[in-house]
Amino acid sequence: MTLDLVYFAWVRERIGAAGERVETQAPTVAALVEELRAREERYAAAFADLSALRCAVDQELADFDAPLDGAREVAFFPPMTGG
């Protein structure tokens, strides 16, 4: 499947891109993260500690074990600091 990935805050800075389109068969967000980590050092650095990261699937906050079936957009970012 084709997924649009978007990155925010220091995740975007560590990866060096605001987003990208990927082809993947990963069944879950966590499996997608494993694929990304294996790509290059900058991904491994960005995804080194999942407890420091949050994710959203199709613009809804999700857990890392969330399924990707039918998903179009996955976002990765640090814990939010609004308000």
80 sits near another protein (criterion: CB under 8 A):
yes
* Cα–Cα distance, 54 to 73 (Å, whole number): 14
The interface mask with another protein, positions 33-62, x = CB under 8 A, is: -----------------------x--xxx-
C-alpha span between 18 and 3 (Å, rounded): 14
Alpha helix (H) residue ranges in the chain: 9-15, 29-37, 41-46
- Report the residue from 10, 35, 65, 67 that binds another protein according to the rule CB under 8 A: 10
Q: Which is nearer to another protein, 70 or 79 (CB)?
A: 79
Contacting positions for another protein (CB under 8 A): 6, 8-10, 56, 59-61, 75, 77-83
